[in-house]
Structure 1
Amino acid sequence: MSTYIVLSNWTDQGLRAVKDSAKRLDATRKAAEALGGSIKAFYLTMGEYDMVLVAEAPDDATFARFMLELAMMGNVRTRTLKAFPEAAYREIIASFS
């Protein structure tokens, strides 16, 4: 599984219906699971971004589909970072030898 960090901001539409955002998060979890992935962590944040998700998916194409499905709902704008766990980081660094 690949790991992704998603930095999110509510759109105007998402803010107008902020009371429903917990239900939308539940639906987002189910959508990720339907594609073989998962939401590992969710944070409401203060600062430049409103929310942060840590998610997993079988591959980049699957996660891209998931992000497009999320975007089509119109409630959030996202920036996605692919994250490499420490073991992969060490393998990448070791390849320079």
Structure 2
Amino acid sequence: MPKFLFEANYLSEGLNGLIKEGGTRRLGAVEELFKSLGGTVEAFYFAFGDRDVYIIGELPDNAAAAALSIRVNAAGVTTLKTTVLLTPQEVDDAVKKTAVYRPPGRDLEPEVANWEGEGGHLV
């Protein structure tokens, strides 16, 4: 099942709700949200810094991740950023694919990028 990283920031109303119900109840609500979309929470952390909450979770597909993000952002008490996470095997599969690419503004013939084995470089 695909994994996603969710980074959340509380707005004023969200912080007041967190103060009222606490961190453990918030985790329970997030676990319920993931479960309702066929997924699970793998990790949930509150944090200092640019983001208030980091969540790693599994969901069946991108549509489920989009549904989660839309629902949370529409509530208006937090902002949520969603990132698709890739496994090392998925990256291995990606670098084996041949792609034709012409950089913007260049009149060169399109280049074909091939990856030379593990630890190799583009040729």
Q: TM-score range by the shorter chain?
A: 0.7 to 0.9
Q: Which runs of 5+ in 1 are unaligned?
A: none
How far residue 49 of structure 1 moved from its aligned partner, in angstroms, is 0.8
TM-score by length of 2: 0.71
| Structure 1 residues 21 and 71: alpha-carbon distance in aligned structure 2, compared to 1, 3 A threshold | farther
User: Percent of aligned positions with the same letter in both sequences?
Assistant: 23
Matched-pair contact (CA < 8 Å) for 2:69–2:81: no
How do residues 1-97 of structure 1 correspond to structure 2 at under 5 angstroms? Answer: 1-19=1-19, 20-22=21-23, 23-96=25-98, 97=114
Q: In structure 1, what residue type is equivalent to 2:41? A: I
Matched-pair contact (CA < 8 Å) for 1:28–1:70: no
Alignment deviations for residues 57-90 of structure 1 (CA, whole Å, 9 cap, x no partner): 1111111112222223333111111111111011
TM-score by length of 1: 0.88
How far residue 50 of structure 1 moved from its aligned partner, in angstroms, is 1.0
Figure out how many residues of one structure are paired with residues of the other and give that number: 97
Structure 1 outlier segments of 4+, above 4 Å: none
3-state SS of the aligned residue for 2:13? Answer: helix
Q: In structure 2, what residue type is equivalent to 1:48? A: D
Between 1:63-72 and 1:85-94, the stretch displaced more is 63-72
More helix by share: 1
Q: Which has the larger radius of gyration?
A: 2
Tell me the equivalent position of 2:103. Answer: none
Greater RCO structure (CA 8 Å; 6+ sep): 1
Q: Which runs of 5+ in 2 are unaligned?
A: 99-113, 115-123
